[in-house]
């Protein structure tokens, strides 16, 4: 799926000889633990300075340090990245960070709170159109002042999200979460039909997919696209079945919306012809 991009977002990177405010704050509170990734590190100033202080840290930036990481990390920092991205790009960053975070790990997002005018402006140095917007995240805020806010993120299945007893609102820690965005998460099915069987689940507790707000429906299908990319890389399937069950009569057992992404492999069925048209036997 082709997504709109702000082609000059990298021009907002700033050269510094000192730690950024959020990096210094996290360091002072001893929150930079284990193996660390700076996602969207720009020129890599924080990476260099934190290494000098003994941190095990790697930097990734799609423009300046484009070697995408393939390890999992205990701590991920992402400072002032989301403010210069369009909404779909923001969602993609959230999903990438979630996928790279170890179970039980923590990620920290810093966003600007001093933006007076949203949209495009000409960069005062580079004279190119750069974009900026305010960002609100549904994660735990650990610091706020007039200039910035700092959020702490952990995987959806490592926190209590609701007082109800729905297992999709409060998935177990033993489940392997694949990725997450502001509105949805993807988890390996507890009773997989095939290797790599994934559920994409909206965070809103709604049983009927068609009753979800359109924005959240879109977030689910955007995640489906991301999930199939990950599955293709990690499991190399030969095809996919994608679908959902709505209401008891259609086989829905848990009354919370979910979308199944089921990888298919050559020889995994006697006769795969007609695909989901075989959901009603002999029809």
The residue with greater pLDDT, 224 or 272, is 224
Which pLDDT does position 2 carry in this prediction? Answer: 47
Q: Write out the two tokens for 190.
A: 């507890």
Which pLDDT does position 162 carry in this prediction? Answer: 86
CATH of domain 9-154: 3.40.50.150
Q: Please, which residues have CB within 8 angstroms of residue 92's CB and are 6 or more apart in sequence?
A: 3, 226
Q: How far apart are the first and last CA of the chain?
A: 33
Phi-psi region of 165 (alpha: psi -120 to 50; beta: other; left: phi over 0): alpha
Place of tokens 């510094």: 16
CATH of domain 177-279: 3.30.428.10
Q: What is the pLDDT of residues 65-99, one digit of tens each?
A: 999 998 999 999 999 999 988 889 999 999 999 99
Q: Please, which residues have CB within 8 angstroms of residue 7's CB and are 6 or more apart in sequence?
A: none
Distances (CA, A) of 264 to 108, 194, 280: 36, 7, 19
- Rounded to whole angstroms, the Cα distance separating 44 from 183 reads 30
The domain ranges of the chain are 9-154, 177-279
What is the distance, to the nearest Å, from the Cα of residue 47 to the centroid of all Cα atoms in its chain?
22
């Amino acid at each position: 799926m082709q997504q709109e991009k702000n082609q000059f977002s990298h021009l907002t990177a700033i050269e510094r000889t000192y730690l950024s405010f959020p990096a210094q704050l996290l360091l002072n509170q001893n929150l930079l633990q284990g193996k660390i990734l700076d996602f969207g590190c720009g020129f890599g100033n924080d990476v260099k300075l934190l290494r000098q202080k003994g941190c095990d840290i790697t930097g990734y930036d799609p423009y300046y340090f484009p070697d995408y990481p393939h390890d999992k990390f205990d701590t991920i920092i992402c400072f002032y990245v989301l403010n210069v991205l369009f909404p779909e790009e923001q969602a993609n960053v959230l999903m990438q960070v979630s996928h790279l975070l170890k179970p039980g790990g923590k990620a920290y997002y810093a966003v600007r709170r001093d933006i007076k005018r949203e949209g495009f402006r000409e960069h005062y140095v580079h004279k190119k159109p750069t974009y900026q917007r305010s960002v609100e995240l549904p994660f735990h805020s650990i610091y706020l002042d007039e200039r910035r806010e700092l959020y702490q993120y952990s995987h959806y299945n490592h926190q209590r999200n609701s007082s109800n007893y729905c297992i999709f609102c409060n998935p177990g820690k033993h489940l392997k979460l694949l990725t997450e965005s502001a509105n949805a998460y993807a988890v390996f099915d507890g009773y997989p039909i095939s290797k790599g069987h994934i559920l994409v689940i909206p965070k809103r507790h709604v049983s009927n997919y068609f009753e979800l707000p359109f924005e959240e429906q879109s977030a689910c299908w955007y995640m489906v696209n991301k999930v199939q990319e990950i599955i293709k890389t990690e499991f190399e399937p030969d095809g996919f079945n994608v679908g959902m069950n709505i209401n008891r009569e259609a086989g829905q057992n848990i009354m919370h919306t979910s979308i199944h992404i089921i990888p298919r492999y050559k020889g995994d069925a006697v006769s795969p012809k007609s695909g989901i048209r075989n959901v009603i036997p002999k029809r």
